[in-house]
Structure 1
């Protein structure tokens, strides 16, 4: 896919922004399976976002619940054969995605310009819209931090040379209202959306509903163990630092 990178960290003082996430969500994002990163706060950057996997090893129940969830939402769009990562490494820099926008979940759920499966991912307050996944050929060990933070220069210089493109199961392009403005796709930018829009009425089979419930349950149980807090659909939050809040 072509890149729409308008500069790393065009807003704020981010040079090479990175986000630490728990597994399996981190790898699912870098492999292009996950298209929406859910947060309780709006995305403070546009462009390349590096993804780092936290140190908590995911249990098999959590992994299975999330893989089942993605199988079901891709099936809505006719994709039947998903290839998941062979493993979910921890305490590693995994790769990067490109954040092209951020919407409220109500806006995303009513957007007729994205596949139904993408709309099903948007279940948190703020939905970071991610494209152009790339993974590191050899993920390497590093420490993570809270919120969005800058990669150290020496880590960035090593990582950028080891990237390889990923072909997502269903490539998605999120249309920018104003292509010249990297921040044009932001909460409130889709002013014409309606909570009863046709696009929001995604038919949920019993299997799909069970997969969504399973993902929610797995995320809740996982976060009880790590002492964090979450929205739904397995979106795991790192607590937001004071620095990140001020930049948001």
Structure 2
């Protein structure tokens, strides 16, 4: 299973909110479509414009509603599809014009974040991280 690092507040909007479109400048590799991926909240601080966008779309103040988790895996999701922005309100309200829209389904927030160092692009979590995630999902270690 691969992991994808996403800056806050977007990672929180995926894990705890209704954000099901991740915007990227590059297409998702076809080999990852239909697979489960870990959603990792980046260690970097909140992007102020992102926080305002979340409030605009959801009416929710992310800092008050969602844990301020950084530097940890916070959810698991299925990367269901990827397409380039098609305009005409494609993937509203989260899809951004001029980006690839990565469609996420079956999102499940973890009860407890799993500390991990992220990376750019898809990355492979350590066995310890995978075990900690698996225990929370099924009660069984790998």
Fold-level match, TM-score > 0.5? yes
How far apart are the structure 1 equivalents of 2:12 and 2:134? 17
For the 8 Å contact 1:32–1:131, the answer to whether it is kept is no
User: What is the rounded CA distance, in whole Å, between the counterparts of 2:125 and 2:41 in structure 1?
Assistant: 14
- Report the counterpart of residue 79 of structure 2 in structure 1: 99
**TM-score under structure 2 length normalisation:** 0.79
**In the alignment, is residue 159 of structure 1 matched against residue 133 of structure 2?**
yes
- Distance in 1, Cα, partners of 2:118 & 2:55: 28
Using the alignment, how far apart are the partners of 1:118 and 1:69 within structure 2? Answer: 16
For 2:2, the equivalent position in structure 1 comes to 17
- 1:67 and 2:54 aligned: yes
More strand by share: 2
Select the structure of larger CA radius of gyration. 1
1:37-90 CA deviation, whole Å, 9 max, x = no partner?
A: 01111111122110111111226x446403223227xxxxxxxxx695432211
- Shift in Å at residue 145 of structure 1? 1.1
Residue in structure 1 matched with residue 118 of structure 2 by the alignment: 144
TM-score, normalised to structure 1, is 0.48
Match of 2:92 in 1: 119
CA-based RMSD of the aligned residues comes to 2.4
Task: Give the structure, 1 or 2, with the largest relative contact order (CA under 8 Å, sep 6 or more).
Answer: 2
Query: Quick one: distance in 2 between partners of 1:159 and 1:53?
Result: 14
Matches within 5 A, 1:1-248: 16-44=1-29, 45-46=32-33, 47-58=35-46, 61-62=48-49, 64-71=51-58, 85-106=65-86, 109=87, 118-123=91-96, 124-163=98-137
Distance 1:142 1:83 in 2: 26
When residues 67 and 117 of structure 1 are mapped into structure 2, their CA distance, relative to the original with a 3 A threshold, is farther
8 Å Cα contact 1:95-1:163 kept in structure 2: no
Give the Cα separation in 1 of the matches to 2:94 and 2:50: 16
Unaligned runs of 5+ in 1: 1-15, 73-81, 111-115, 165-248
Q: Any gaps of 5 or more consecutive residues in structure 2?
A: none
